[in-house]
Chains A and B, each alone.
Chain A
């Protein structure tokens, strides 16, 4: 029963977070400054999601150059600059990730 309460609560919280600013009756107007600020949402947030995946393993920081996540992540940037193709870059960098992990 408690588990269903947790699930219900989480459902409400997630919907609140997702829907709040989509509601037109919410009296906020986005001025130019806010729009410029939100223009940085994509690079800022997506980078923040990648960071822990690449640098944190079991609550410890892995900054060594032999970290396969870091090496393959750098390769993903290079592949994307070179190919301009999202799918190709992802596929090749994942393959490189497993190569590095097996090799190092």
Chain B
């Protein structure tokens, strides 16, 4: 794919990301409608999606603003809640860091869970920057569009957060994980990650996701090392 025309690669990336973008629609609508409900202005609501561009962090921040939390506690929560991006960037470092600043900053800005899921399988030979930009911008435009619709009509759909729409995200990630679970260490990684995230969320730790992810990754890595040592 590195030799593909930029335009073709960009469109391929955007198409690859389209199902995931649509799966985010319920959250986008919620991010729009709940922010209005929490007394944010339409400009502030759209500003969150335009500048912050992080679903989970936006919804949590909106909830905290509504609950009257201090600015500092909201920012600390955001830092912990979105720390998985540090790991994503570290994983993508060999691909992205040699590029020019404009590319690093653009791809960094659109780095999301979905972007990482779609772009991380590539290596130095197969990675295409235009494909990655297509993935990222598709999600960015979609997310902002859904936020805007949420501002306009979200509140007229009663109980949007009770419809169970978030299952589509879980289903998408399950479909992405299943084919890569092919060996013992990866099985251990997934099992430990799942057990710890359930436990940590039950304890209501703010950084449950990133800590559980790290626990799973550590377990998988140790298993792989142990296997190599015993072999």
Contact = CB atoms under 8 A, between A and B. Distances in A.
A90 B210 CA distance: 24
A5 B185 CA distance: 44
Interface of B: 19, 23, 40-41, 44, 47-48, 51-54, 57, 61, 65, 71, 74-75, 78-79, 82-94, 96-98, 104-105, 107-109, 111, 113, 116-117, 120-121, 164, 166-181, 185-186, 189-190, 193-194, 196-198, 201-202, 204, 208-210, 212-218, 220-221, 224-225
A101 B162 CA distance: 12
Contacts, number: 257
Contacts of B173: 46-47, 49-50
A89 B171 contact: yes
* Interface of chain B: mostly helix, strand, loop or mixed: helix
B86 A44 contact: no
B185 A41 contact: no
B60 to A, nearest CB: 10
B143 to A, nearest CB: 13
* Interface of chain A: mostly helix, strand, loop or mixed: helix
B189 A80 contact: no
Interface in A64-91: 68-69, 72-73, 76-77, 79-81, 84, 86-87, 89-90
Interface residues of A, number: 65
Interface of A: 2-11, 13-15, 17-24, 30, 33-34, 36-38, 40-56, 59, 61, 68-69, 72-73, 76-77, 79-81, 84, 86-87, 89-90, 93-94, 97-98, 101
Contact of A23 (B97, B181, B208, B220): B97
A14 to B, nearest CB: 5
Contact of A90 (B23, B166, B194, B217): B23
A92 to B, nearest CB: 9
A50 B96 CA distance: 27
A22 B213 contact: no
Contact of A30 (B41, B93, B107, B218): B93
Nearest to A51: B197
Nearest to B92: A22
Interface centre among A13, A20, A77 (most CB of B within 10 A): A13
Contact of B172 (A2, A13, A42, A86): A86
